Structure 1
Amino acid sequence: MARTSRARQLASIGAEITESVRTPGTDIDRVMETAEQKITRLAERAEPEQGVTLLEGMERLLPELERRCNVPDGITGTPTGFEELDAMTSGLQAGDLVLIAARPSMGKTALLISLLLNSLMKKSGSKGQLYSMEQPTEQILMRMLASLGSIDLTHLKSGLMDDEDWARATDASALLMGDLNDSLIIDDTGSLTPAMLRIRARRNARRYGHPSIIGLDYLQLMRCPDQENRTQEIAEISRSLKALAKEMMCPVVALSQLNRQLESRADKRPNNGDLRDSGALEQDADVIVFIYRDEVYHENTEDKGIAEIIISKQRQGPTGRSACSMKVVLPVFLTSRADRGGAHEQRP
């Protein structure tokens, strides 16, 4: 019965495709995308999750524990390149949904780009995917040049570059086109749906290699038209990102906006209640990271050029604060300073 039902549904999808392509002026690319989404959803329903016995589970776990014990620096996941962050997380773990959230101008995209580049350079042969719905590929690449070459981003944007800028840009370009070349796939398609994102992630994994990290900028720009309201839409997007992390068995790092209500507080450091549009984000995320720069609110602060990295949630590890030096003009986070938040809070 199940096979007959799937056959009917597949035949129906085929009939829809045939009817669509016969209509004058039809967007063929759109038809192909829609058909792929429907077939993917049908295939997912046809493959129920299977459980494992304790014996089967332990046979998988023990070799993984042995691998972790043989890692000399304790970074068992994908390294971020930030000493304190890696120490607190042991690297971003496979299957985890990691949210990086902040108000505008705090450096969300800069941190994500730094994480991606650091992870690819620290693990030879690793692959990454970046889905940038906010900025086109050219702007992402300029940020990478500025980050790798320590070049003033305004010089790259204006073209007013001196000889030193050109030398740094040349070296950074050589790294991106040489050692890194196909290690990072950038997709700047706007307004992705969860189904579209999963399809593209799978396709890129087949073409370029399985990713060790996936980045998304940013989740509120995704759309989920089948939902009744924005809260349900964000909840479905959040659930789908967690499912993608588990399916691809790599960390999915998604940027998120925060509610503007925090601007009215005396202490504007974010907390989990500030996540925008849905409580599902707090529930689904394995790790929540906030960015706070005091100089955005206080011009005369002593913490100029400092971005606080606040881990407010971590399912299997401590939470706490560290601080990173950040060049405001250059879109790059530098080496972390010593932890400024005292003892880490160990979650039960």
Structure 2
Amino acid sequence: MALPNAITAKLEAVKAEYRVAPHNIDAEQALLGALLVNNDAYYRVSDFLLSEHFMEDAHQQIFTVAASLIKSGKLATPITMKTYLGDADFGGQTVIQYLARLAADATTVINAAEYGRTIYDLAIRRRLIAIGEELVNGAYEAPVEQAPRDQIEETERRLYELAEAGKYDGGFQKFSDALTAAVDMAAKAYQRDGKLSGIATGLSDLDAKMGGLQSSDLIILAGRPAMGKTSLVTNIAFNVAKAYRGEKHQDGTIRTVNGGIVGFFSLEMSAEQLATRIIAEQSGVASYKIRRGDIRPEDFYKITDAAREMQTIPFYIDQTGGISIAQLAARARRLKRQKGLDVLIIDYLQLLSGSGKRSDNRVQEMTEITTGLKALAKELAVPVIALSQLSRQVENRDDKRPQLSDLRESGSIEQDADVVMFVFREEYYVGNKKPREGTEEFFAWEAEMQRVHGKAEVIIGKQRHGPTGTVELQFDANITRFSDLAQEDRLPDRM
């Protein structure tokens, strides 16, 4: 006779309540026994195993004491460890009795690493259970002011940390393995457009100076307002996404061969404004005309053709304003896991906040942000481009070209960044000095405007793995497009 549903449910709840978390006491005892017999066993597990990974409190104590003795150059045996474990009770046995039993039952030290991995994996499973329980309890008991999104992002962060922690393949590697990785990088560079070690920006002079966007780099792109920071970074983002080409491998994963998948955090502009800029750049129709609807039929066809092409590229935009560095990192991890990610862009740095409440010490908060972005670049193994404002002291100099000292809260930004670039357009400053027409000053100003018209400079002020210097680019303000500047030595021969 079947039990009523209510009783069945109650029995299942009781069963779940008394479920024992995954563990393997035999593996713990075998590893500790091997360690007591031969202290070299410790070095087979020391780079990934901690005392907290053991299920039994007694085993945690034994491993902690043994590790301390071995690391200090002393011998860890039942005799030497007895002093440090005191009168602890080990299931009705004294300390010396239990340690002697572990040593007597010990198997070969060769299996120590396998026992360690078993203990470690089970500890990770227990942490997964704990995260799941906290997620359920938090959802039941969440305070009114806490948004569900906050709990999701916190759980995602903890799961990602656990995923990264659940590896025991670090430590030293053979130099031959490093050589293989270097050759693979060279092979990938050979396959890429421009034969670059990094991802091509689509601007050949800039790529020649930087070797492309390098994996794990934090790249700061700074400039005063109206210099074209956002325009340049959207140009680069579109060029990277447009060049994307993936290759499916036997394990089913798709790996990037050329270009890349782009994630763009637009903290200032909306996604529509960003799309309008890119449509203007690609169609050649001025963005102000698109916004006002002042377009001809042929312009409309150019816009629709550009939009159709843009729909197929791997370009993802997050337009949420006022997010913290922790939220940004959680969303970037999610994008990489779900869609893939090769380049991450943040527009712009000063609109991010730290993990806690708004700090009175903005420099300290900026340090947390830049350190977090650099760690994220390494964690995701992608270049991170972050836009940054410059202080007003630039305007007080005759030469308006920015310097590293002009960065706002420059200490942390300059220190954490692998590359710092500045966008500078002399045309903007010259244009603001227009004198009265018809005067001698006007004709001199006009000549100066012709010299600087449509030209921009990208000043590389810092680069860890390459030269600094200036790259000249062409800039079309109407469609906010940066392109390579046609130099005299590149022009075709005149007849």
TM range, smaller chain:
0.7 to 0.9
Is the 8 Å Cα contact of residues 323 and 338 (structure 1) preserved in structure 2?
A: no
| Aligned twin of 2:12 | none
Q: Output the CA distance in 2 between the equivalents of 1:119 and 1:25.
A: 40
Q: Output the CA distance in 1 between the equivalents of 2:383 and 2:265.
A: 14
Matched, 1:288 2:420: yes
Write the mapping of 1:74-93 to structure 2, written as runs, cut at 5 A: 74-93=195-214
Write the mapping of 1:173-252 to structure 2, written as runs, cut at 5 A: 173-177=307-311, 179-180=312-313, 183-209=314-340, 211-226=341-356, 229-252=361-384
Q: Which runs of 5+ in 1 are unaligned?
A: 341-348
- Give, in angstroms, the shift of residue 171 of structure 1: 1.3
| CA shift digits 1:214-234 (9 cap, x unpaired) | 111111111104366211111
Is the 8 Å Cα contact of residues 186 and 197 (structure 2) preserved in structure 1?
A: no
Q: Output the CA distance in 2 between the equivalents of 1:36 and 1:162.
A: 48
**Sequence identity, in percent?**
34
Write the mapping of 1:1-80 to structure 2, written as runs, cut at 5 A: 1-3=51-53, 7=127, 10=131, 15-20=137-142, 23=143, 27-37=147-157, 40=160, 50-55=170-175, 56-68=177-189, 73-80=194-201
Determine helix, strand or coil for the equivalent of 1:50: coil
| CA shift digits 1:6-57 (9 cap, x unpaired) | 859745565444310xx56863334333443455567667779933334343
Matched, 1:326 2:475: yes
Write the mapping of 1:302-341 to structure 2, written as runs, cut at 5 A: 302-338=451-487
| CA shift digits 1:40-90 (9 cap, x unpaired) | 567667779933334343443343345446768432211111111011111
- Give, in angstroms, the shift of residue 339 of structure 1: 10
Q: Output the CA distance in 1 between the equivalents of 2:329 and 2:169.
A: 17
Amino acid at match of 1:307: A
Change (3 A) 1:49 1:217: farther
- Structure whose alpha-carbon radius of gyration is higher: 2
- TM-score, normalised on structure 2? 0.62
Is the 8 Å Cα contact of residues 323 and 339 (structure 1) preserved in structure 2?
A: no
Matched, 1:171 2:305: yes
Amino acid at match of 2:238: L
Determine helix, strand or coil for the equivalent of 1:298: helix
Amino acid at match of 2:140: T
Determine helix, strand or coil for the equivalent of 1:189: coil
Amino acid at match of 1:249: A
Change (3 A) 1:337 1:51: farther
| CA shift digits 1:211-253 (9 cap, x unpaired) | 2211111111111043662111111111111112112222111
Q: Output the CA distance in 2 between the equivalents of 1:230 and 1:45.
A: 31
Is the 8 Å Cα contact of residues 194 and 200 (structure 2) preserved in structure 1?
A: no
Is the 8 Å Cα contact of residues 321 and 339 (structure 1) preserved in structure 2?
A: no
- Give, in angstroms, the shift of residue 2 of structure 1: 2.5
- TM-score, normalised on structure 1? 0.86
| Aligned twin of 1:345 | none
Match of 1:266 among 392, 398, 419: 398
Q: Output the CA distance in 1 between the equivalents of 2:469 and 2:328.
A: 32
Change (3 A) 1:25 1:291: closer
Is the 8 Å Cα contact of residues 205 and 484 (structure 2) preserved in structure 1?
A: no
Change (3 A) 1:202 1:34: closer
- Give, in angstroms, the shift of residue 97 of structure 1: 1.1
Is the 8 Å Cα contact of residues 100 and 256 (structure 1) preserved in structure 2?
A: yes
| CA shift digits 1:106-155 (9 cap, x unpaired) | 10110001001112223424311111111111111111100111111111
| Aligned twin of 1:344 | none
Change (3 A) 1:72 1:237: closer
How many corresponding residue pairs? 334
Amino acid at match of 1:267: D
| Aligned twin of 1:143 | 277
Determine helix, strand or coil for the equivalent of 1:310: strand
Is the 8 Å Cα contact of residues 13 and 38 (structure 1) preserved in structure 2?
A: no
Q: Which runs of 5+ in 2 are unaligned?
A: 1-50, 56-122, 247-259, 432-444, 490-495
Determine helix, strand or coil for the equivalent of 1:174: helix
| Aligned twin of 1:343 | none
Amino acid at match of 2:172: V
Q: Output the CA distance in 1 between the equivalents of 2:298 and 2:279.
A: 13
Amino acid at match of 1:195: A
Is the 8 Å Cα contact of residues 193 and 224 (structure 1) preserved in structure 2?
A: yes
Determine helix, strand or coil for the equivalent of 2:378: helix
| Aligned twin of 1:161 | 295
Change (3 A) 1:81 1:229: same
Q: Output the CA distance in 2 between the equivalents of 1:40 and 1:71.
A: 30
Is the 8 Å Cα contact of residues 326 and 334 (structure 1) preserved in structure 2?
A: yes
User: Which of 1 and 2 has higher RCO (CA within 8 Å, sep 6+)?
Assistant: 1
